[in-house]
Structure 1
Amino acid sequence: MTRAQQLGVIIGLVIVAALMALRASDPQPLRQARELTFDEYQRLAPRRFESLPVKVIDIDEASLLEFGQWPWPRDRIAKLVDRLSDMGASAIAFDVLFAEPDRLSPRTVVRDVAGIDPALLAHLPDNDEIFARSIAGKPVVLGFGLSNEGDFRPAVKAGFAFTGESPAGAPPRMNGATPLRPEFEANAIGIGHISLNPGNPSAVVRTVPLFLSDGEQLYPNLALEALRVAQGASTYVLAGATNVPNTITLVKIGEFVVPVTSAGELWLYVTPDTAERYISARKVLANEGVSAETRAAIEGSIVFVGTSAAGLQDIRTTALGQNVPGVSLHAQTVEQILSGRFLSRPDWASGVEILAIAAMGILLVMLTTFVSPAVALVCGLLITVMALVASWLAFFYAGLLFDPLAPIVSGSITHFAATSFRFLVIDRERREVRRAFGHYLSPSLLYRIEHTRDALRLGGDDREITVMFVDVRNFTEISERLTPREVVLFLNTLLDALSRHVIANEGTLDKFIGDSIMAFWNAPVDVADHANKAVKAALGMRDTLVKLNENDAFGFGSEQKVGIGIGIHTGLACVGNMGAEARFNYSAVGDAVNIAARIESSCKEVSFDILVSDSSANMLPGYALLEAGALALKGKSTRTRLFAVAGDERLGASAEFAELKAIHAQLVEALRSRSASSRKLIRVAKLQAARLASGLPEFYRRISRRSEHFIDDTAVKNGGGALEKVPQSSLVP
């Protein structure tokens, strides 16, 4: 790499880092562009309107024309409640504020007349009392608004249950609320806020806060309360992110679970506005009676009472660009929950987008610097198309919102900057080199001068890894019967089939040593559950070998079956480039490697094909493991306990294996105490093992043969001299 190329890469990476920082700060123009992209997705594929039990009782222009201007007397509102209740509405939610006394109430009107006898006032009807009596005992939910004056807090009619700490700090802050009439607050079965986008400067309503908070108490919104009341539920269940305080990820209301943002907001997935959602209040209050069609539409439905009249100024803009009554968005919130069609922007989406900027930027910098701007442009265009397609498919099929614009715009800026630098600096230097040496050097030498790179360094790092050794059983005997060419064909067939499981389970193939394989996990990159993936690879090798033998893949016939031994250990090792400056390999050395090799050798003594150390076994909860002895290592004061891997979690969870495991535990204790009862336990274990993994019966036969040395009373009386011959990896003490 020339100095100009180095400088170009550094400048390119600085630009990429600056673009990542800009995206991380998420300024308003970026947020607006992202939101407009998501709006466009909804316009391309809006939520389809379904006939769900949700209706809007619309105080529309026709209703105002027939019954007079708003606000109506509350005795008329009470009549509306009575009608809706009689028609079987499951919940009646008001997107209307009832903060002031009814100025049209007869008692209020007469009270302002001078000289009226106070005793007469008591006999006059009070509309607020009529409305309060009307809502009592009915499924009525009242709304409250936000206020910056006073410190009123409405009553909370529902309970809250949290999985983890209280997320009271997550929702938008509520400083105060518009006060409800005390009699209304007392008689309403539910109370919810009607704010759709508090604190959001955008006129478009894209998210709805399902809760507000004063720092201690949560207050549900109107739609959520209506859904709760309709189901007869008493409690909201809120789940937060693990180990992340003041977050909400899921909300459960009765039978429905709602995914939300960390602030407890629901992304609205709206439908085009449709007349099927609305029922004019005039039809419900009609003096001639309510039609059968209206009754059928309201029966069993959650109804929201609100207005579409333009003069009452409750008009909002949706992501589809339509102006709709605010009450319809409360209704659409419930519709969305009932339909199960959700949009979600995961908390990690921003991180993915920032990583995409980094990956795309670094790729374009490298391609532009070392290959050509044209190739970088083609790759950039392909990545752009892939980003757009991936973002759209995530939205269309999973309702996930990922921003494709930030990586695309950042990639364009990076490509332009890197191309400009190459043209102005790097290519100029190359042209000067060609002019200076073109007459003296061949084109190939010129190319090498232009593209000089530093040699890789030697060295390694200490890491916890899981090491695997695989060895072919009786390889010497097999190879003696084959020609050298046949030996190579046999090894290629076997090792290729087995090594595929290492790659498939994110392992690193270190080397092939004759008939053996060495592999490890968790290097050069971190691998989650590396011990688990190593054992999955070993179990896959076991199954593959069975199929190879059954299909006679080696051409040995039925008389010769190929067997393998696998040893696995988790521990500390040094991994890195090792060898000479001229030639080196990426490998691992250390105790962990040596122990894994010794464990593999112990497979012969134990007569089982897969053995793992106790350090690996501790990382394999649920696996079908059986204690198989202890391995004594030179220079170690304690032995390494070994476990035979009978199978995966499915076998480990079976009743048959649980029975065998209990018998095996008794057998281990009997062997360690040199009890004659071990004979019987071995026989029982053999019978149970015959129903499970194919290698287990031979495992117990080997234990039986070794145990005869010390179970026999005569041998025990003679001091157990035969024990000296028992291998140290056996269960026999």
Structure 2
Amino acid sequence: MTRAQLVGIIIGFSIVAALTMLRASDPAPLKLARDATFDEYQRLSPRPFEDMPVHVVDIDETSLLEFGQWPWPRDRLATLVDRLAAMGASVIAFDMLFAEPDRLSPRNVVRDVPGIEPSLVEKLPDNDEIFARSFVGRPVVLGFGLSNQGNYRPPVKAGFAFTGESPINAPPHFTAAAPLRPQLEAAASGIGHINLNPGASSAVVRTVPLLLTDGEQFYPNLAMEALRVAQGASTYLLAGAPEAPDIITSIKNGDFVVPVTKAGELWLYVSPDNAKRYVSARDVLAEGGASPETAATLEGSIVFVGTSAAALQDTRTTALGQNVPGVSLHAQTIEQILSGRFLSRPDWADGLEILAVAVLGVLLVTLTIFVSPAIALVCGLLITAFALVASWLAFLYGGLLFDPLAPIVTGTITHFAATSFRFLVTDRQRREIRRAFGQYLSPSLLYRIEHTRNALRLGGDERELTVMFVDVRNFTEISERLSPTAVVSFLNTLLDALSRHVTDNEGTLDKFIGDSIMAFWNAPIDVADHRGKAVRAALAMRETLAHLNANNAFGFGAQKIGIGVGIHTGLACVGNMGAESRFNYSAVGDAVNVAARIESSCKHLAFDILVSEAAAQSLDDRFAMLDAGAVELKGKSRRTRIYAVVGDDKIARSTAFSELQAAHLQLVRALNSHSHNNRKAIHAAKVKASGMTEGLQEFYSRISRRHDHYLTQPGEPAPEKTGDSVQGPIHSD
């Protein structure tokens, strides 16, 4: 692990730790995002509406137009109770408060009229008493609301039992309620609170507290009381966690077990608002009685009496984004219990999500720093997709609520931070390498350098290289008859076409020297079969040059451009060379000089691709090569064996080349034996070379003038210099 990677890991893990602690603290923005995700799940797959024995008698706009503004006199509400009881409603639950005396009661209307005897006032009807009498023998449930004043608490009509210790402090607390009229609370079969989301910071109703507590007593909500009274049950059974006394896991109400949050709240799984849920109060109170259809609808139903009139402002927002009457959510609570379709967020969900944040963060930091930001991104996207799919399937098939956003957001932040650090610090050396070597290395070789630790040792490294020199034949003559601009254009066209074969074969372009190219293989990193790749590059150059000449790419007409290629394998020192402020990656040494001298030999031997014996090792079975003799190279005290490269493995396996090899061997023997049949052997070789590689004819035409190349073996001292010996500067024409 490098120092930069260690620093990256420390910074990355610190960010992961901070994000994990942030998720553990669960601030309001995270809760809001989580709730919005669960809302979206419900919108994608809401609870389907089912026609159940749960209805709302709605004091709607038409009812107010028919019977006058709200509040109605309570004797009319008594009539409503009578009508509903006659229709066979199993429960009549009022989602409204009866805290004040009925101001429309005759007794209250005349009480303050001057001159009326108090005894007469007491003989007048009281609507609250009429309303209370309508409760007698009937399953009527009243609602109570919370208050910030006083200490009134309504009577509890049901008993509570629990497994283990009492979870009295688990539900939401309240200190006081708005008082109910004494005669009404005494006559009611049940009393429940009507607050849907007390203390909630959001207007969206997502959970409903089925219980409230004052620290001494439990108080059920209106829906639970309506369900209890409908079943004739007398007691709620609260199940808790033995190891945590202030947690409620479920509430048993008669025959129904309701899973709840640890605070005794029900996650609402709402269905879209539907007109079949409602019956207008006008239809129930219609003169002459309700219609048979209305009676049939309400028979046996749990009936909630409430209002949808806009002026009465009893509307709530559901997870589906709909604004609905508050009373409909009490009805939906019972619908959900009857259907058995519950939502739950397990107590261990927070722990799982916190663990997911930590594990995902550590994984992404590790992958980004040590492997690749791209791979880390792919893994992050796969994990994100898995989290989303798993969360959605858990909701769809199990009603479980798991938050996919926390690990996703954490993963995004972590990946961005780790990638930024790597780009700014860890990858700085890699970018420097790419800038330095991108001009003369193939992309594949550059990639290997970037991803191989200690692959590059700058400043000088002795290693075996295969060195190539390429030179244009007769360049001086060509440049003399061209303008400087035309010379540059010619060189750009030629050198660009030839040099790409170096990088295509994993070679390193060292430099361009006028009309020459210097390249080498097996540096800065090891290249397998570097000898063979150098020879393949040379053959590709020959083919490219033939194509350029055939298509008159240089505009020289019938004049053909020729090149000479010299290749040698040996030890050289390779690295950054020059001044600190300006340097080049290059190679120096005897191997470089020998390759340059071999390239110069191409002109004298009349052949375009020559390789040294060291470079030809292990290549004779893959390339068609001919022994070109042991030549004298300038600066070398002993001759060097070189070979002419005729073609690739296809030519090497051909019958024509086998015959040429045999003729060439006869020629060499004739030259070594000073035979008088030299001309005959040369002619035979030229015949066999006919139709093969261009240049072989001239190669054999000149062989009589340089037959001494075959007389001296490599390693022997060179004979006295002759006019035909191979000498001259490195880059002669």
With the shorter chain as reference, the TM-score category is: 0.5 to 0.7
Matched, 1:130 2:135: no
Question: For 1:413 and 1:359, how far apart are their aligned partners in 2?
Answer: 14
- Matched-pair identity in %: 75
SS at match of 2:219: strand
Deviation at 1:325, TM superposition (A): 0.3
Deviation at 1:429, TM superposition (A): 4.5
The one-letter amino acid of 2:114's match is A
Map 1:325-724 onto structure 2 (within 5 A): 325-429=325-429, 447-449=452-454
SS at match of 2:180: coil
The residue aligned with 2:297 is 297
SS at match of 2:208: strand
Question: For 1:39 and 1:354, how far apart are their aligned partners in 2?
Answer: 21
Deviation at 1:122, TM superposition (A): 2.4
The residue aligned with 2:150 is 150
Q: Deviations over 1:655-684 (max 9, x none)?
A: xxxxxxxxxxxxxxxxxxxxxxxxxxxxxx
The residue aligned with 1:59 is 59
Question: For 1:434 and 1:313, how far apart are their aligned partners in 2?
Answer: 69
Instruction: Evaluate the alpha carbon distance shift between residue 53 and residue 7 of structure 1 in structure 2; reply closer, same or farther with a 3 A threshold.
Output: same
The residue aligned with 1:115 is 115
SS at match of 1:63: helix
Q: Deviations over 1:64-120 (max 9, x none)?
A: 111111111111111111111111111110001000001000011111101111121
Q: Deviations over 1:241-294 (max 9, x none)?
A: 230121111111000011111111101111110110000111111112111111
Matched, 1:26 2:26: yes
More off after superposition, 158-167 vs 420-429: 420-429
Instruction: Evaluate the alpha carbon distance shift between residue 92 and residue 445 of structure 1 in structure 2; reply closer, same or farther with a 3 A threshold.
Output: closer
Q: Deviations over 1:505-555 (max 9, x none)?
A: xxxxxxxxxxxxxxxxxxxxxxxxxxxxxxxxxxxxxxxxxxxxxxxxxxx
The residue aligned with 2:571 is none
- Length-normalised TM-score, structure 2: 0.60
SS at match of 1:135: coil
Deviation at 1:2, TM superposition (A): 1.6
Q: Deviations over 1:337-371 (max 9, x none)?
A: 00001111112111111111111111101110111
Deviation at 1:297, TM superposition (A): 1.0
Question: For 2:83 and 2:451, how far apart are their aligned partners in 1?
Answer: 92
Matched, 1:186 2:186: yes
Question: For 1:96 and 1:196, how far apart are their aligned partners in 2?
Answer: 13
Instruction: Evaluate the alpha carbon distance shift between residue 320 and residue 436 of structure 1 in structure 2; reply closer, same or farther with a 3 A threshold.
Output: closer
8 Å Cα contact 1:91/1:303 also seen in 2: yes
The gaps in structure 1 that reach 5 residues or longer are 452-733
Give the superposed CA RMSD: 2.2
The residue aligned with 2:706 is none
8 Å Cα contact 2:167/2:240 also seen in 1: yes
8 Å Cα contact 2:249/2:259 also seen in 1: yes
Question: For 1:239 and 1:5, how far apart are their aligned partners in 2?
Answer: 52
Deviation at 1:197, TM superposition (A): 0.4
SS at match of 2:258: strand
- Length-normalised TM-score, structure 1: 0.60
Question: For 1:123 and 1:137, how far apart are their aligned partners in 2?
Answer: 25
Question: For 2:163 and 2:200, how far apart are their aligned partners in 1?
Answer: 29
Deviation at 1:202, TM superposition (A): 0.8
8 Å Cα contact 1:20/1:358 also seen in 2: yes
8 Å Cα contact 1:2/1:450 also seen in 2: no
The residue aligned with 1:669 is none
The one-letter amino acid of 1:216's match is E
Instruction: Evaluate the alpha carbon distance shift between residue 279 and residue 385 of structure 1 in structure 2; reply closer, same or farther with a 3 A threshold.
Output: same
Question: For 1:395 and 1:37, how far apart are their aligned partners in 2?
Answer: 11
8 Å Cα contact 1:434/1:446 also seen in 2: no
Deviation at 1:447, TM superposition (A): 3.0
Question: For 1:238 and 1:8, how far apart are their aligned partners in 2?
Answer: 52
Deviation at 1:401, TM superposition (A): 0.8
Question: For 1:450 and 1:431, how far apart are their aligned partners in 2?
Answer: 15
Deviation at 1:390, TM superposition (A): 0.8
The one-letter amino acid of 1:195's match is N
In the comparison of the two structures, how many residue pairs are matched?
Answer: 450
The residue aligned with 1:314 is 314
The one-letter amino acid of 2:337's match is I
Instruction: Evaluate the alpha carbon distance shift between residue 60 and residue 431 of structure 1 in structure 2; reply closer, same or farther with a 3 A threshold.
Output: closer
Matched, 1:161 2:161: yes
The gaps in structure 2 that reach 5 residues or longer are 441-445, 457-733
The residue aligned with 1:275 is 275
Instruction: Evaluate the alpha carbon distance shift between residue 431 and residue 320 of structure 1 in structure 2; reply closer, same or farther with a 3 A threshold.
Output: closer
Question: For 1:434 and 1:271, how far apart are their aligned partners in 2?
Answer: 60
8 Å Cα contact 1:318/1:324 also seen in 2: yes
Deviation at 1:300, TM superposition (A): 0.8
The residue aligned with 1:139 is 139
Deviation at 1:26, TM superposition (A): 1.3
Deviation at 1:376, TM superposition (A): 0.4
The residue aligned with 1:204 is 204
Q: Deviations over 1:684-713 (max 9, x none)?
A: xxxxxxxxxxxxxxxxxxxxxxxxxxxxxx
Question: For 1:263 and 1:450, how far apart are their aligned partners in 2?
Answer: 62
